[in-house]
Amino acid sequence: MTLADIQRTKLWSGSPEALQSMRDRVECRESAAAENRTLTNLALFDFDGTVTQADTFRPFLRYSASSTRLFWGTLLLAPMIAAYRAGVIGAPRMRAAAALACFRGRPLAEVEAQGRRYSETLSDVMQEQARERLRWHERNGDHIVVVSASLAPYLKPWCDARGFDRICTELASTNGVLTGGYLGGDCTGPEKARRVRARFDLTKYRLVYAYGDSDEDRALLRLAHKRYFRWRELAELA
């Protein structure tokens, strides 16, 4: 029986209080049913090493920069590269320095055009587990978001072509010229979780799924009801 049925009936013989109690129960059921029809799941995917088999950041720098810029950039960054390989400095700091060397002073439109072309090659490096899981979420009608330190010039067109949302590292520019820095910082570690919370009200989703492969994804995984680390589901996250 629906609320409308109760309101239309001529056969109710109980007290007004009992009628109101029944109305309240029906309204509660109808509200819950409507909520279940509208709630979807949120699926948060790291990109490099999770969706893809390997890093896409450094290959894009090599794809984008001229041979002269690559030579001088590698020479100037040689001490930092050595420190990174020795574990003295972390990946976020190394990425920021490499982006500065690669992009500073270049036209934003040029790099965005390169990013669109580069994005067309990324299907070749996707992991099969990622293909299957993305298709599964699509069939479920879930809201898919790629959350990554990867760069917007190539990640945006890749996501747009598939109808996915994305949160990633944006290159800063002034009057159409790249500064070499990031707009809003590097989208990694706790920053991934902060940006997700800023964009989405997680209480509006039935379930939140998260997928990652490195320590940079731990904060992202903590947002989720269902967490997958290197494609294995985690009951708890240390």
pLDDT over threshold 50, residue 162: yes
pLDDT band at 39 (very low <50, low <70, confident <90, very high): confident
* Residue 9 domain flag: no
pLDDT over threshold 70, residue 7: no
Alpha carbon distance 234, 238 (integer Å): 10
Tally the domains of the chain. Answer: 1
* Residue 13 domain flag: no
Residues in the chain: 238
Beta strand 205-212 pairing with 226-229: parallel
- For 218-228, what is the mean pLDDT? 97
pLDDT the model gives residue 36: 44
- For 125-129, what is the mean pLDDT? 96
pLDDT the model gives residue 38: 54
Give, in degrees to the nearest 5, the angle at Cα 216 between 210 and 218: 45
pLDDT the model gives residue 12: 46
* Residue 34 domain flag: no
The long-range contacts involving 119-128, CB below 8 angstroms and separated by at least 24 positions, are 119/154, 119/155, 119/157, 119/158, 119/161, 122/52, 122/56, 122/154, 122/158, 125/52, 125/53, 125/54, 125/56, 126/51, 126/52, 126/53, 127/50, 127/51, 127/52, 127/53, 127/231
* Residue 22 domain flag: no
Domain harbouring 78, CATH code: 3.40.50.1000
Give, in degrees to the nearest 5, the angle at Cα 116 between 214 and 219: 20
pLDDT the model gives residue 17: 57
pLDDT the model gives residue 31: 44
pLDDT the model gives residue 19: 46
pLDDT over threshold 80, residue 138: yes
Alpha carbon distance 129, 79 (integer Å): 37
* Residue 30 domain flag: no
Domain that residue 114 falls in = 40-234
* Residue 170 domain flag: yes
pLDDT over threshold 70, residue 77: yes
CA distances from 154 to 178, 179, 192, 203 (A): 15, 18, 18, 31
